[in-house]
Each structure stands twice: as C-alpha cells, then as structure tokens.
C-alpha cells in the first residue's frame, strides 16, 4: 500500500483519503522502529480528529515497547522542546496547523529535536508503514502523563529570552485563532505576572475549539487579519500578535493595525540577537533577503542563506551554530530553543524591543522604505514550468547574479526576485524586493508572463 500522506519533511493529508487512525498506527510503529526508540514525546493540536489520531499513534508506540511521554493538547514547539528536555528518542505532534478542516498530519523530530527528512529517517518510516509487517505487540510499553512538568519547563525556557525588568507597560492584543495557543499563552502570561511584568493582554478567539468558529487560524492570509486589526485599534494597543493552529508561527501588527511582513521581523530579531552576541551567524531563507543581509552586516554578524522549509533551516542552524534563523513565512528559530522554531519567543523578544526602542511602526518604517517588498504573490498558470521559463529567458541574460538554492532567484542590480513552483499544487510563487525603488513596473511585467 502506497501512503500518500508522506511529504518532504512531515506527514499531512486528507482525512479518510490520505490519513486515518489505521495509517497513523502504522506510522507510529514505523517511527519507533526506524528511530530505535524507547521513549517518545507525543502532543496534539485541537482539531476534532487529533485526539483519536494521537491515540492511535500512542498505542502504536506502546506496542513497539516505547514509553510515551504524553503532552496532551500542546503546540508543536512544546513537543520540540520536550523531546530534548526529557532526552527522548524522538517526538511527534499530531497537527495540521493551518490546513483545511478535512486535513490532519504529524510533525516529527529525532533525538535532540533534530529534523527529519528522507535522508534522516522519513523514508525508512514510510517504507516500514507501507510494508505493515510489524508483528505482535512488544512488552514494556506504557503511557506517562508529562503535561505539567513539560509545560512548566517550557515556560521557563521561553522566559529566559526576555529581560523582564526591561519591560514597560504595554497593551498587547493576542489572537489565538481558537487553536492550541491559548492555554500555553496563559501559562506564560501567568508566569510573567508573578514576576512583575507590566504587560496587559487583550485576548481574542482564545479558547481552543476544533470547529474553528472564526475560520482556520492562518494570519498569513490577508482576509484573516481584519479582526485582529480592529481589536488593536479599539484597544489602543502597542502591538498585536496572532498565531496559526499549532502556534509555531506568529504574526505581528503594529500600533496602527498595520500588518508587519515577516521579512522585516526577521531583521528586527536578528539585530536583537546580534546585539547580545556580536559576530554570530543568522540563517535566512532565499525568498526575500536584502533587508536581513543589510541588518546583519550593519550589526557585525554573518548572514547565511538556507533552503526554505523548517527541516532545512533547522539543519542549517545546527551546521553553522547560528544563534537565530528566520523565514518570511513567520517561522523563527532559536539556538537556545533546541535549534527549533517557536511562536511564543518572538513576541516576548519584540515586547522587550518595543520597551527599549519605541513603537513597532517606527522600528519598521525605515527598513520598509529602504527595502520595499512585494510579499508573496501566487499565480496559477496552466503550465508552471513554461511560465517560469518565460521569466527566466527574459531576465536571466541581464541578471548580475543567479541563485537556485530554492527556485530561481535573479539579482537585477537594484531589484531582485525569487520564483518557485509549489511541490504540491500547480502554483508559482513570486517574491520581489528592491533597494528603495518602485517595484510596480517590473511586477506588472512579470505578472503578465505568469498569467495565462
């Protein structure tokens, strides 16, 4: 049986088509066997199907003789952290993050919270799950409730990123999107209050609800942002923060309700960590790069480009010993958070930055003017390869530099673009940036080439 839910570095698919409890069970046994695991961390998001899928994975691990360290409802980053904290042999979180309602999936890591891809075990898990030749259950497995211990340790680690004494009275709108973020955020907020942090939080869509009454939590989509914008303005807040379903991504809104594109957040966070650790390395993805590279150079750091995707960024973090890594899609990675991405660390660091340096809008405005960005624009040409070939033929002869780390990137001197074909759908993704110039003329020209 060919399993269609295995992707480049995780598992996801439509319920009842690509993924169900029986398949989840086989994946669980395959994971334990491929990892040679005896202890595995397991968490899940709030989706209606997640508890049953997590139950199937848990039973599979137990049947392989594993001790399952259960986190219950939790964020993916809590699984990442707990895998290292408990010195487990791997970790799994049942989540579909921001995918549609009829989807679910599994995010997995090896010992030490190291990423999984085809070369590091994912292909072995797939082969074992497809063969389904596991035999009878092994003795010695069991379930341990680790929810309280894991969250308490996680909160302490998150708080280690902020100087609480430096925080000023700020009003912050937080939109959990009815995903998994609410309870974890509350634990962090309670710890901050106990330590005298003068932050005021205005919660919205806070309670976990797998029916997602306000829509799938994905603030990257412009149509999902207005409620957060309205609340920021109504509260006169200093900042707004919104998360996706498993809260490994966080998105920022300034005090005027303006959405702050991820590439500018990467620059701000890079500057913070370079101030603490001069000369450190910063990892960034190849889609929009000039602002990050400029900030890192000015701060005396070293910018390192890595392929888009959490498995690639995490491995690059480890390979280069980087202190921080960021993607424009709002994934932020921290060496001192087991080299993994967190959606809770960034807003705390940002609260301290605003407390020290002033408003978020002011911090961003100069960078946005220096390096305007188009944001990611998606096209659906009838023939994606032919459309990309048209753009390449037009611009490559005049390009000052070409890079194919991830898709096609062409540097045209005072502007550049990255063009990538999706691995999963007939979509071409375009990102453009300039050195202070108007992007519209070139954007219109490329748009015509990518549109049928």
Residue 278 burial class via C-beta count within 10 angstroms: exposed 0-12, middle 13-18, buried 19 and up = exposed
The span from the CA of 364 to the CA of 154, in Å, is 30
Angle at 20 between CA 15 and CA 26, to 5 degrees: 145
End-to-end CA distance of the chain: 38
329 counts as catalytic: no
Dihedral angle sign, alpha carbons of residues 207, 210, 212, 218? positive
The span from the CA of 222 to the CA of 227, in Å, is 11
The span from the CA of 189 to the CA of 192, in Å, is 5
Asked whether the beta carbons of 264 and 367 are under 8 A apart, the reply is yes
Please tell me which residue in 50, 58, 97, 409 is annotated as part of the active site: 97
Longest CA–CA span in the chain (Å) reads 67
The span from the CA of 181 to the CA of 203, in Å, is 11
Name, in order, each residue with C-beta under 8 angstroms of 159's C-beta and a sequence gap of 6 or more.
188, 191, 192, 195, 348
Q: Which residues are catalytic?
A: 97
């Amino acid at each position: 049986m060919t399993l269609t839910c295995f992707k480049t570095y995780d598992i996801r698919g439509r319920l009842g088509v690509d993924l169900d409890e029986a398949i989840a069970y086989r994946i669980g046994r395959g994971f334990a066997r491929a990892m040679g695991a005896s202890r595995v961390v397991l968490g899940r998001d709030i989706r209606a199907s997640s508890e049953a899928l997590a139950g199937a994975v848990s039973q599979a691990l137990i049947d392989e003789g594993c001790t399952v360290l259960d986190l219950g409802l939790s964020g993916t980053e809590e699984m990442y952290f707990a895998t290292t904290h408990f010195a487990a042999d791997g970790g799994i979180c049942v989540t579909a993050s921001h995918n549609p309602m009829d989807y679910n999936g599994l995010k997995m890591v090896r010992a030490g919270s190291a990423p999984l891809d085809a070369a590091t075990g994912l292909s072995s898990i797939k082969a074992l799950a497809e063969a389904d030749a596991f035999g009878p259950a092994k003795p010695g497995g069991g379930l341990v409730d680790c929810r309280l211990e894991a969250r308490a340790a996680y909160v302490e680690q998150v708080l280690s990123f902020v100087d609480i004494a430096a925080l000023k009275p700020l009003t912050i709108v937080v939109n959990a999107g009815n995903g998994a973020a609410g309870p974890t955020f509350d634990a962090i907020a309670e710890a901050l209050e106990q330590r005298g942090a003068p932050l005021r939080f205005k919660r919205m869509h806070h309670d976990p609800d797998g029916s997602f009454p306000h829509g799938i939590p994905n603030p990257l989509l412009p149509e999902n942002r207005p409620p957060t914008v309205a609340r920021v303005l109504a509260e006169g807040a200093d900042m707004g923060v919104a998360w996706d379903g498993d809260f490994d991504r966080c998105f920022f809104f300034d005090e005027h309700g303006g959405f702050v594109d991820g590439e500018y957040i990467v620059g701000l966070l890079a500057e913070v960590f370079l101030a603490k650790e001069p000369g450190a390395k910063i990892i960034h993805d190849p889609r929009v790069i000039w602002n990050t590279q400029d900030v890192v150079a000015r701060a005396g750091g070293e910018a390192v480009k890595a392929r888009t995707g959490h498995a690639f960024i995490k491995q690059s973090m480890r390979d280069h010993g980087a202190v921080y890594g960021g993607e424009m899609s709002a994934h932020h990675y921290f060496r001192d958070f087991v080299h993994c991405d967190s959606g809770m660390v960034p807003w705390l660091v940002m609260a301290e930055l605003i407390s020290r340096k002033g408003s978020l809008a002011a911090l961003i405005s100069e960078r946005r003017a220096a390096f305007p960005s188009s944001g990611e624009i998606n096209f659906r040409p009838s023939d994606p390869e032919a459309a990309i070939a048209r753009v390449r033929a037009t611009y490559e002869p005049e390009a000052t530099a070409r890079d194919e780390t991830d898709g096609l990137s062409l540097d045209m001197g005072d502007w550049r673009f990255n063009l990538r074909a999706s691995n999963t759908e007939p979509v071409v993704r375009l990102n453009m940036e300039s050195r202070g110039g108007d992007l519209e003329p070139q954007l219109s020209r490329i748009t015509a080439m990518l549109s049928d």
